[in-house]
Structure 1
């Protein structure tokens, strides 16, 4: 967990999404959620980072609570909210323990990061159970995940030094990498497939309402996407939004987004 805090002390989602290739994930997530969530609603964002999504939804008039594990991130969210005159509650906390919040406290829960950083199976189960507990009946749970099928193409393109039998076995068979693994190319991270996460959510008696590839191949071919001119990029973005629900795109996209409703 300390490696996660250290990493996200240095990562600013707003700056990350400034690149065209990475903004695909942002645009897609916002568009898909817009189809399900109309302001004003109460939203809990788990693992809010430095507030890219939380501040966006607060600006739209939602009642947003942003929870993050990293103390410096919480302070950045509060500062940015003040600078933009936004009403937003930013709190430090662990997404696997939402005991400060009562049952059915929020109309929607956004989990756009924590799911793919919880490597322990029991902790991941608590993460989902707690999110469902604080969610109102009829509310939406949005879960971002990293697709294990996308890892090998990414390694070939960006990190060929990690094209090792042990790395691939950890990702494809075990499903996770620990920060202190010698074959790990990142921090603590959990990898799943579109089919696996659908089975997990269905077993929790939630109803899946949407499932999209949020960045397709743009994370892997980032340099090529960033090199597109404005017109080419708009064409690429339109193509991506038109195909993001295709199962073949879900199968190779780096990030996926699953939306499920609590019955």
Structure 2
């Protein structure tokens, strides 16, 4: 936990999502997929809110937002931004696996866009999804993001060939982790899932999957081209991407995936 907090202390999540077209694509796609569930007065909880790029956007849309973030530094930044922009939302420092301060059956939408990147054990991942189920209203909607382990393997082949060893790729493929000391700390503290695994995770915990999107598509592999688009070219590419991002064959090659699911009337424990 200390390593995770250290990794994100001082990190600028807003800049990450806006500094390049390829990261803007992730944000724009996620917002596009969430838009049907965001409207004035809706209760929305974000577990793992970072500095509030999404939570503040939801609040600006008139949603009643509760933002939960593990890293104290990120919580401070989120609160400062909300105050400076005159935005009202509830902000808590806390762990996505346990949010007792959020009332059961109180949220229309629960968004988990970062925690699954770092919850290394099946038990932790199940705890987070259990909490989402608990706090959601009947028929409420969960949106959970993950990083594909297949994309990570491709990234190593493209940018970090020293990590293309049997030991690294077998561990990644079997466990979704990277413990090799030559890897960047982000990979050492990360968990990388498969698309089918995340669908099964939410289904086993009482949700019915209603959408699954490759939020980056294959764009990360052609990032040099995408990042050099003109604004009109980016819009054209975004429109093309949104038409195709639910194509199942793209899911494993996308850096990020997004599963959207609805709470049903039962839950296995």
> Is the TM value for this pair above 0.5?
yes
**Residue deviations 1:40-93 (CA, integer Å, cap 9, x gap):** 211110010000000000111111111101011111111111111110111100
Q: Secondary structure at the match of 2:219?
A: coil
Where do 1:135-150 residues align within 5 Å? 135-150=136-151
Where do 1:162-201 residues align within 5 Å? 162-178=163-179, 181-182=180-181, 184-185=183-184, 186-201=187-202
Offset at residue 205 of structure 1 (A): 2.4
Unaligned runs of 5+ in 1: none
Structure 1 stretch 233-242 or stretch 25-34: which is displaced more? 233-242
Q: Is the 8 A contact 1:21 1:223 kept in 2?
A: no
Q: Distance in 2 between matches of 1:195 and 1:124?
A: 15
Question: What does residue 5 of structure 1 align with?
Answer: 5
Offset at residue 232 of structure 1 (A): 2.5
Where do 1:6-21 residues align within 5 Å? 6-18=6-18, 19-21=20-22
Where do 1:88-103 residues align within 5 Å? 88-103=89-104
**Residue deviations 1:183-233 (CA, integer Å, cap 9, x gap):** 543241112211121122222221111111111122333222112223332
Q: Distance in 2 between matches of 1:183 and 1:220?
A: 22
Question: What does residue 243 of structure 2 align with?
Answer: 242
Q: Distance in 2 between matches of 1:228 and 1:166?
A: 38
Q: What RMSD over aligned residues (CA atoms) do the two structures have, in Å?
A: 1.5
Count, aligned residues: 261
Offset at residue 253 of structure 1 (A): 0.8
* TM-score (ref. length: structure 1): 0.94
Q: Secondary structure at the match of 1:17?
A: helix
Offset at residue 21 of structure 1 (A): 1.0
Structure 1 stretch 46-55 or stretch 162-171: which is displaced more? 162-171
Question: What does residue 31 of structure 1 align with?
Answer: 32
Question: What does residue 258 of structure 1 align with?
Answer: 259
Q: Secondary structure at the match of 2:37?
A: coil
Q: Is the 8 A contact 1:3 1:187 kept in 2?
A: no
Q: Distance in 1 between matches of 2:113 and 2:12?
A: 14
Unaligned runs of 5+ in 2: 265-269
